[in-house]
Chains A and B, each alone.
Chain A
Amino acid sequence: MTSDSSLAIELIDIWKRFPGVIANAGATLSVKKGTIHAVLGENGAGKSTLMNILSGVYRPDEGQVRINGNQHWFHSPSDALTSGIGMVHQEFRLVPSFTVAENVVLGASEKIIRRSLIEKEVEQIAQQFGLAIDPTRPVWQLSMGERQRVEILKTLWRKAQILILDEPTAVLTPAEADELGNVLRRMAEDGRTVVFISHKLHEVTAFCDEATVLRGGKTVASSLKVEEVNESDLAGLMVGSSPVISERPPHQEPGEAMLTIEELGTLDDRFLPAVKNLDLTVKSGEIVGIAGVSGNGQREMAQAIAGLRPITSGKITISGKDLTNAPPSERFTAGLGYVPEDRLGIGLAPRLTVIENAILRCYRNLRKSIFLVSEQAVNYCKEIIDRFGVRTGPIDDPIAGLSGGNLQRLLVGRELSGNPKVVLAAQPTRGLDVQGVKAIQDLLIAERAEGVAVLLISEDLDELLTLSDRLLVMHEGEIVKEFDPTTAHRHEIGAAMAGKRDES
């Protein structure tokens, strides 16, 4: 069977089921050669699964994959690569101690490789597409944007004609994202086909030719010409109804200082200074937002406040109590609720059950006899589930079966159930669907109304502008500027995120 020869990719009626989840329910996608094609959809819409099928990571339960009109059945990503399909994943797959060129050739079938030759080749490809990078530098020295270029170079060096990028701009600054757009345009002009997964609408309209929208595992709009649609049309297709976003909470006068941080200093995982002399106060009944490009010390600051990272200097006080050297559990008891950025690595234990995760912070207090699970613990767990709307099976089941949104509800619910005085929320809505985002944001707003001091670290500027009473911008481990979110201009915030300081 032959089909339209102008199409590089055709995915026809793809079904993929996982236990308890249908990730793709008859999804289709057709992409013309030499174009940049956006695949849009919310988290859980089935974008990543569909792309993993296209790149050979998963095999579809039903459906056809056609590349340049020929039906294919890939067994592995390298199989797909042989057919000219390369994928740049969200999490980079690079060896930090290897150089750029070494990473590019890693896994190549050639047995004998000449370093200088590879370095020249990589340099040449990089120049051809405008990817500024030095092939001899080790990867650990590179920024996230540069690492992404290495991933792209890996596929180009293997002569991929079809490039899939899974949410490539999530790790980039706005300027880097624009630059990536230019690179992708050059590749399309060179005759390559680019599939661009995103949920950032302005990027789609800025540098894609066509867009396919997925919802609930199905294709709801295929190959829309980007010139003919606007961002709100696309948003409407993605969510199926008008987008629900939390409203700005009414103004309220903040109370006394609940969280005080003075001259905080801490190191990152490479033992380099990550936070330098940071002063911060969050008062009762206010939400203080921390904006910044990721990797500017936000993660380290949060971990230091929570007691998970040793500090090199400074003082941490919660409602007047000095907790500078207190262990994490004592901080929880003193009224600090912490929603870590790394949900399954720190916040939850994936192999344990729902109830075992629910009581993680307070099992010592809930226990009456030698038994871990008391009636009190069961009630406590059920209360979290009811109050925070966690959709789950039996509480004795492992949490591995819960969706991302429900995991986060369980985690946030647990941290809020102790009636905290201070809530430290790091990327609390990242990766959640619209309902999940709204639920978590509403919880934070409710805590503020109760007089809780909320420190919100987020990469989503809209979220920060909506929720915060004060917005602080962090750059290279320091607070560089404070904004009033009701009057701040986005470009000013952007400039501060890039390191522009207050003139004073």
Chain B
Amino acid sequence: MTVRTRSLRFRLIAFLVTLIGLVQIAEFALMTRASYGAAKAKIEQQFGVGDKVFARTLAENAAQQVQSARVLASGFAFRAAVAIGNPATVESALENYGTRIGARAVLYVNLHGDVVADTLRASPHVYPFALPALIHAAGQRGQASSIALLDGRAMQLIAVPVRAPLTIGWVVVCFPLDKALAEQLRSLTGLEVSFAVARGSRWTVVATTLPPKDARVLPARLQATHAGAKNALIRMPDGSELTRLLPLNDSGAARIAAVLTQPIGPALASFRALRATILGLGVFSLLVSILGSILIALGFTRPLAALLEAVKRIRQGDYSRLVAIKRDDEIGTLARGLDLMRARIFEREQRILKLAYEDPLTHLPNRLQFSESLEKALSAARKTRCGLAILIMDLDRFKYVNDTLGHGVGDHVLQEVAQRLRDVLGGAACIARLGGDEFAVLLEEATNGSVAQLAERVVSALERPILYAQQPLDVGASIGIATFPEHGADLQTLVRNADIAMYVAKRTRSGYSFYDPNYDTSQQEHLSLLSELRRAVEQGELRLYYQPKLTLASARVLAAEALIRWIHPVRGLMPPALFIPFAEHTGYIKSLTLWVLREAIAQCGQWRREGRDIQISVNISARDLTSRDLPERICALLAEHEVPARLLCLEITESGFMEDPKHAQRVLDRLAQQGIQLSIDDYGTGYSSLSYIMRLPVKELKIDQAFVSHMSEEPNLATIVHSTIELGHSLGLKVVAEGVEDSGGLALLRELGCDSAQGYYLSPPLPPAEFTAWLEGTLPVRLEGDLCRAEDEHAADLSIARGAALASGAY
């Protein structure tokens, strides 16, 4: 755990610890002070008691000595000796009695105040007694005691009168202030006792119970601290002891004092023990408090840290984990709030992700999701060196369904397709809708065989019609497959190649197709096609070929379909399938259509001038119908070449007017008003509603060649053709059959009442010159005959004629 000094936890702990520490210190200081004060007061009290006891003991001692002195002085023999003896006798008596009572010295002072005998000096001598006041006091009170220096020694002096029977003099008994006395006093007071004498300010210790070490420094201390104090409590500077100076005499140059000393050390021992206990308790409680405050702080900050952690997770986008802090306090509330916020953000993000990555209609992943999944799968596959495959699928007839039946149906179809894909490709890594009717599938660890199988299953699943309101809708699908690593190492390449393969599949109607590098070359061609196409228009590389439309009833050719051909300078003849879809895709088709119209109308005008009224059919793409000025342009062209409108027929595929039906209807109406013929091309392949077609100003129906070309071999197709013809006729439309490839078919069409026929059996599309040649040549004539004969005889030789036609054709 790193300590961050700005963190809440650190500050909280620091505050609590500081607070508690200060309280502890203050408490310790107060308690120490109080207990020290108490201890000291106790010591001082003891000390006070001690010095009272001292004074009293000293007084009692003196009283006792007075008694001794009295006994001495009242002894009759002593009195007699003093009263009548000579000085030597008196001296010896004094000595004798002094010894008896343990006095240091005994003096006899006469009524004049002179010492006439003493035990200190040899007699005879008479000298004034040094302490007349003592004698005076004794005279007043019958006894007196005093402490004074006598012969330079500190003494307790006791004076009592000697009576015989009246006072005749005074006995002064001297007891020294010596160590024995000090020891005795110490034993009674419990204090160290010293006797000190000051001469001037110089102190001398005369007797002491102090150890020598302390005794040596005592004079200096007395001198330094309280030289002049009386009865003063002396505190030694080091606080080690209490000392009291007790003056024992009150006058004279030489002061005598008792020094009572109490070392504080031993007396404070109990205080020190108490202080140690308090300190110990303080330290202990400080530690406990620190621990406690840390725990409390952690109690606050641990959930905070957990919250921070949770916030961090949320910030990093991990919304999956709950903010699990179960507490009843504010932090708990905060945690719950945070968790709610997390859940909401999670929900919203899921929704956003869904919007971003999911197709809302089918709930399949969208293109973005697919790309990401593919990228991931690719990088995984690069590592594991496994193969993967992508399928790109496009519905064949979705646009038509959507256009004709509405978006509701289209949406239903897409949903159903999505469901079927899910059912079939349950194990696929990703099924996505790329947009429109385009789907993509990502297959991991795929082999070509398994992918083909899957594709097969998808195709067959989508071949089953989709029911909408009890109506079956047949959409079908084309799938392009690209595999990794064979068909590309990166996403773009794979997708593009699968796309290419899908277009191939669509074109070939093979259901599905694996990418082939060869496609790529045609793809490359596509890419340069636009510029080439432009160049083709400019440089006249495009040609219009005309395929005759035979009116079956009259066996005459009154119409032809104009078909575009591109004579490429390098590649030769380019089939329209190679560039028309591309032109439609790029929008260049409009230019092409205009070119075709101009060319066809011009040709028509020319033939008309040559005396041939041949109606020319021109294919119009859906995109052409979107341009508003199409009717005007056509009108202008017709006028320019003096071609009547009836000689122009515009062929429109069913899907052609489904893109924007209303607009298409308007355009078509205007064209029809101008007298231009309109025809439905490739009828039968789409899902045009007949009722809808009826509303269009259409005059002609062209049955798709898929039905016609094999009609003579398959009765079902013939039935379809037949019913279509019937239907067309019942709606008042002319019916044209495309893709007539044999004489049987031709005969059958005639038999079924079809109005016109068109196909290779009759003639392939021909350049104008050859077309006119064909018109004037024998072949039409033979055909005419052939048609006439077909009614009653078998057209066995028609195949020969067809073969000849093929051989002679410029195809």
Check if A and B associate: no
A interface with B by C-beta (< 8 Å):
none
